[in-house]
Amino acid sequence: MIATSYSGMAVDLAFLRPVMPYHHVLVDVRESPFTIDFDTQVPYDTYVRTDTLHDLQHPLSEDPGEMSFLMITQVMELYFKLIAFELRGARERLRADDVWGAVGTLRRTALHLEGLNASWRGLRWMTPAEFNRFRTRLGEASGLQSAMYRRVEFLLGLKNPALIRPFKRKAGTYGELAAALDEPSVWDEAGALLGRRGHDVCDPAAVERAWVAIYASEDRETRLLGDALSEVAEQFGEWRYQHVAAVRRAMGHKPGSGGSSGLAWLERSMAQVVFPELWSARTHM
């Protein structure tokens, strides 16, 4: 194919031809390799429940930015659920003295946390002016009232009983969270496992000495458990850091819709350490 360029030169456009002419690309559905004969629902929808999933987005304003805020919050809620599920699995494995099983589950948890953390990118555009366009519509709604996030925190051993108070009139959730507060955390089960392996874990100082000893020893299995726990703690810390950064960016020091002072309260909450002796032990190694 010959065409004339801007400069008037003749140019051979053969190299721009499609690899296959279109009549080769068209597919004859009678010969298609995939199944097309379904009832009202395709099996994908039945499995993924797409109808339910895509019926859950109801922004409260006309502002187009609210859709990212709402959907990213929903995506994060789903991740909290997946992470709580994995942490319960890791706790089971530790209780059963299956260290390799626990390491595998904790590594998967850390990868899900990475996926969760990547979701923050979708909110980086939001300045106070943009957040203000729909913020008042949220009323008193706040992530502080996320029961699934509290489950994740409790499983990690961050247990502040005051934080289940918003649910006190929601009997089922309140009861479940109160029970979760009393259950051993992943960290409690890791400590119990060390105890069964001959370490003294009678108090935090002893737990710290146990981790110093493990990292100085040839006990590769328990060291890898320590590494997998560290990765989970760091990735969870990354979520909290990114959240604080998003709050600072989108609303500065204004009070939170959930009734807290906002940034100052979140910074105090972020200072609570996940798996504390795993970190303090490092000073003595």
Q: Which residues does the annotation place in the binding site for substrate?
A: 135
**Does 72 engage in binding with ligand HEM (CB under 6 A)?**
yes
**Residue 229 contacts residue 236 (beta carbons within 8 Å):** no
- How many whole angstroms from its chain centre is CA 280? 25
Minimum CB distance to ligand HEM smaller for 109 or for 117: 117
Q: In this structure, which long-range contacts are made by residues 275-279, counting pairs with CB atoms below 8 Å and at least 24 apart in sequence?
A: 275/156, 275/157, 275/187, 275/190, 275/229, 275/230, 275/232, 275/233, 276/204, 277/204, 277/207, 277/208, 277/211, 278/211, 278/226, 278/229, 278/230, 278/233, 279/230, 279/233
d(CA 137, CA 192): 47
Binding-site sequence positions: 135, 243
Q: Which residue of 236, 257, 275, 277 would you call a contact of ligand HEM, by CB under 6 A?
A: 257
**Residue 215 contacts residue 281 (beta carbons within 8 Å):** yes
For the bound state, the minimum distance from the C-beta of residue 241 to ligand HEM, rounded and expressed in Å, comes to 11
**Does 99 engage in binding with ligand HEM (CB under 6 A)?**
no
For the bound state, the minimum distance from the C-beta of residue 222 to ligand HEM, rounded and expressed in Å, comes to 30
**Does 260 engage in binding with ligand HEM (CB under 6 A)?**
yes
Beta bridge partners of 3: 11
Here the tokens at position 227 are: 């590494």
Which residues ranging from 211 to 250 are in contact with ligand HEM (CB under 6 A)? Answer: 243, 246-247, 250
d(CA 23, CA 68): 40
**Does 180 engage in binding with ligand HEM (CB under 6 A)?**
no
Minimum CB distance to ligand HEM smaller for 215 or for 265: 265
Region of 46-54, 137-145, 169-177, 204-212 interacting with ligand HEM (CB under 6 A): 137-145
**Residue 143 contacts residue 258 (beta carbons within 8 Å):** yes
Helix (H, G, I), strand (E, B) or coil at 192: helix
Q: Site map for ligand HEM, 117-136, x if CB under 6 A?
A: ------x--x----------
**Does 184 engage in binding with ligand HEM (CB under 6 A)?**
no
Strand 10-12, strand 2-4: pairing: antiparallel
Region of 40-48, 229-237, 258-266, 276-284 interacting with ligand HEM (CB under 6 A): 258-266
For the bound state, the minimum distance from the C-beta of residue 172 to ligand HEM, rounded and expressed in Å, comes to 20
User: Where do contacts with ligand HEM occur on this chain (CB under 6 A)?
Assistant: 72-73, 76-77, 123, 126, 142-144, 146, 149, 243, 246-247, 250-251, 256-260, 262, 265-266, 269
